[in-house]
Structure 1
Amino acid sequence: MSLGDDHQSSGGYGGTGQTRTRLPDNGGDAFGGARRGGRSSSRSLITVVGVVVLLIAAIAFANRGGDDSASPDDATDKPKTSATAPSGTQPVQSGFAHDEQGAQSAAANYAVALGSANMFNKAKRDAILQALIVPSRVAGFQASLDKAYSPAFNKNVGLNEDGSTPKGYTFVSRTSPLGTKVTENSPDTATVEVWCSGLLGLAGQNSTAPVTSSWFTITTKLEWTNGDWKIVTHSQKDGPAPIPGDDKASSADEMAKAVQEYGGFTYAR
């Protein structure tokens, strides 16, 4: 039964539960007189209710008319929409709660940072690692990722060998967490799996590496260090991936415009 399947009243229209029967118009019939008097009272009540309803409707219409007749100057005072482009101001990067939920929030947000286009820039990548990795492992992560983000890899995703974006193109690298799962947890450590979708590629005409989507799961072991969750180990595997839908792929220009107009998230959860 749907929410709209309410039980109907067993009475007649109006829910009185009685059926009105009009008796013959006989002036000497007391019951007939009573019936006629009842109908007259009902009509009076209906008239009063009708007047009230019309009055309320008139007030509502007048108010609506007042809104519609606003001056052009008033219309210009309405908030204007704007694209969610990055403001350049970095949000707080620390302060996750010292509990299981805080660990999940940290893992999801760290997935966003580690999957961003900033990782293709050496200076920005090192700054991200300094903020997210336990101090004792920062140097190891830096060395490993310096090898991973090699000139050959940069060229493979459509960038210049130094990681810069070719003129006339828009580079896309974004990770979007879809859910998290804690597989191990203790007061000061947690292992969190983050299921993600991602975009990677170069948007623009004649791109040799157009933007494609992917699905993967990141496993992050976290440790509570210096008042915040920090990454101890980080790994990634493919999937789970859904069956592709029937969406028509956007043009290179449409994709580049979307990336420029819709700023990526820094915080994910």
Structure 2
Amino acid sequence: MSYDDETDGFGSGAGGAGQTRTRLPEGGTGDVYGGARRPTRNSRSLVTVVGVVVLLIAAIAFANRGDGTDSPRTTDTAKGTAPTAATGIRPVAGKHAGIPSGYARDEQGAQSAAANYAVALGSAEMFDKSKRDQVLESIIAPTSVGRFRRTLDQAYSPDFFKNVGLNQDGSTPEGFTFISRTSPIGTKVTRFADDKASVAVWCTGLIGLAGEGSRNPVTDSWFTISMELAWIDNDWKVVTHTQKDGPAPIGGDTRASSADEIADAVNGYGGFTYAR
């Protein structure tokens, strides 16, 4: 969802592509299912494979175990990881108005904040005036709350509600499920200082009405949100926000699900607390 690129609008917009090689049977017969069979794996090879799998599971469990301590600060060992690799920084434990809070005062903390704020600003709660105000009070810098509120009160107008299939007051028509959800794909810091940070969040989003006969079916979109954050009252707060389309991948050939399947998925699968 996007109101106006490069404005204070909010939305519900790469990685390398792998290649798969299929090995055909030798012999040139052209029979995909024929040809010589592979030799049967002996018991020693099977024991080796099982042993490796057990060790891998143990390593993953050890790496993810919690010790009940607070989130650590960024360490030098995390700086050498790949851009999309997990860093090991634990998710924040605090919440304010249902939104994760209490981020570290470092680059990773700023990225975690921006990712979670993108989720909040692209949620269905933003279509309800009272809930929207709670979100803004929770994550926007005090000096910017008034500007954000005025801009969004104008954006969430009866005409806009009508365009996405809602009633003029923003309520959902009977028999339908309204969906607006943003999922961050990745984050990056474009500028950082001790009390300021600029973070870009690459996202995909869902928006629309799920239900029989919907004229506004749920669709997906890809966009990038850029936020200017400031360190205020021991946490990161949003000062400015812009959005632009893409990067968007080529659509796959997955069969579109029914309206009921989409509604059940969104209602049945909860969101995440994002941590960089």
Find the structure with the greater CA-based Rg. Answer: 1
Aligned 8 A contact 2:227 2:239 in 1: yes
Partner of 2:151: 144
Instruction: State the Cα distance separating 1:263 from its structure 2 match.
Output: 2.5
2:128 to 118, 121, 124: 121
**Is the counterpart of residue 264 in structure 1 residue 275 in structure 2?**
no
Instruction: State the Cα distance separating 1:208 from its structure 2 match.
Output: 1.0
Task: Say which is worse superposed, 91-100 or 137-146, in terms of deviation.
Answer: 91-100
SS at match of 1:108: helix
CA distance in 1, matches of 2:203, 2:121: 12
SS at match of 1:93: strand
- The alignment's TM-score, normalised by the length of structure 2, stands at 0.63
Q: Residues 143-165 of structure 1, C-alpha deviation per residue, up to 9 Å, x if partnerless? A: 00001111111111111111111
SS at match of 1:221: strand
Partner of 2:252: 245
Change (3 A) 1:108 1:259: same
CA distance in 1, matches of 2:134, 2:98: 15
CA distance in 1, matches of 2:228, 2:97: 25
Instruction: State the Cα distance separating 1:91 from its structure 2 match.
Output: 5.0
- The alignment's TM-score, normalised by the length of structure 1, stands at 0.65
CA distance in 2, matches of 1:164, 1:263: 22
Partner of 1:231: 238
Task: Say which is worse superposed, 104-113 or 245-254, in terms of deviation.
Answer: 245-254
CA distance in 2, matches of 1:98, 1:229: 8
Change (3 A) 1:114 1:92: closer
Q: Residues 187-231 of structure 1, C-alpha deviation per residue, up to 9 Å, x if partnerless? A: 000000000000000000111100000000000000001110000
2:174 to 154, 162, 167: 167
SS at match of 1:163: coil
Q: Which ranges in structure 1 are unaligned for 5 or more consecutive residues? A: 1-88
Change (3 A) 1:90 1:128: closer
Partner of 1:221: 228
**Is the counterpart of residue 94 in structure 1 residue 94 in structure 2?**
no
Change (3 A) 1:260 1:216: same
Q: Residues 114-165 of structure 1, C-alpha deviation per residue, up to 9 Å, x if partnerless? A: 0000000000000000011110110110000001111111111111111111
Change (3 A) 1:209 1:139: same
CA distance in 2, matches of 1:194, 1:246: 26
What is the RMSD of the two structures over their aligned residues, measured on CA atoms? 1.4
How many aligned residue pairs are there? 180
